[in-house]
Chain A
Amino acid sequence: MRMSDFEDLPLEKQLAVLYQQAIYVGKCKKGGLTLLLFQLEYFYIEITYTSYRSSIYKIHYTESTSILEPYLEQIQVEYLVT
């Protein structure tokens, strides 16, 4: 699926595609908001919740890997090397 095709889907179908096909990348918190990042083929989808898994504030799509930065910072390297 191309990112533009995903963008054209209604929210309910976007969530269904994410749930069934996307790869979970990580979770982070910013100023009281909770963000979940997923990868779908070559692009990323970030869901921002005002209330965790309950109230979606926005969905952001990008092909840029810079979106990974706040998530990579949270990976605890000691668990990967032990």
Chain B
Amino acid sequence: MVKPATHKNIVFYADDDTDDLELVQEAFGRYTNNVEVVTARDGVQALSYLQSMDEYASVPCLIILDINMPLLNGKDVLRKIKDIPPLASVPVVLFTTSSSSLDKEFAKKYNAGFITKPLDVSQMQIITELFIDHCSDEVKNKIIKRFK
């Protein structure tokens, strides 16, 4: 797991697919001045990191979860983090290759976003903007303003 080294806005992303981890990290590359992507390779590692955070000190501005991960899937991680007080209000997006309506319903039930992984990397910039759009207005303005 890659831990944050700075006090930038933290985007936490859990996915067992190294290609997708790289894809998302590259997509956030243009925001590196104010966004740091912290990654985990499975659901247990993700939950362990999220549970170990200092109260509010390093709470991510956004949590992105793949659904199909070993040990603990993204839906189980989402259920659990909604019970962790500092994290309950952090926006979460399920980022998955699935386009299943059941998965979409699940995301809706837990007030999470749902984005299907692109088949073409050219869509990644739009998807990154959709990710940022899930952040709070304060964070969103900070990221966009500083980027401009």
B71 in contact with A23 (CB, 8 Å):
no
Residues of A within 8 Å of B17, CB to CB, are 27
Find the A residue at minimum CB distance from B19. Answer: A52
B98 in contact with A53 (CB, 8 Å):
no
Find the B residue at minimum CB distance from A25. Answer: B97
Asked if B121 is at the interface (CB within 8 A of a chain A CB), the reply is: yes
The A-contacting residues of B in range 4-24, CB under 8 angstroms, are: 17, 19, 23
CB distance from A21 to the nearest CB of B (A): 7
A53 in contact with B99 (CB, 8 Å):
no
Residues of B within 8 Å of A24, CB to CB, are 96-99
Give bound CA distance, A53 to B20, whole Å. 9
Asked if A15 is at the interface (CB within 8 A of a chain B CB), the reply is: yes
Given contacts A76-B70, A79-B70, contact A53 B100 (CB under 8 A): no
Residues of A within 8 Å of B119, CB to CB, are 15, 18-19, 36, 47, 53
Give bound CA distance, A36 to B121, whole Å. 14
The A-contacting residues of B in range 109-135, CB under 8 angstroms, are: 116-121, 124
Find the A residue at minimum CB distance from B99. Answer: A20
Residues of A within 8 Å of B120, CB to CB, are 15, 53-54, 56
Which residues of B pack against A, CB within 8 Å? Answer: 17, 19, 23, 70-71, 96-100, 116-121, 124
Q: List 26 A-B contacts (CB under 8 A).
A: A15-B120, A18-B119, A19-B99, A20-B99, A22-B99, A23-B98, A23-B99, A23-B100, A24-B98, A24-B99, A27-B17, A34-B19, A36-B97, A36-B119, A47-B119, A52-B19, A52-B23, A52-B121, A53-B19, A53-B23, A53-B118, A53-B120, A53-B121, A54-B120, A54-B121, A79-B70
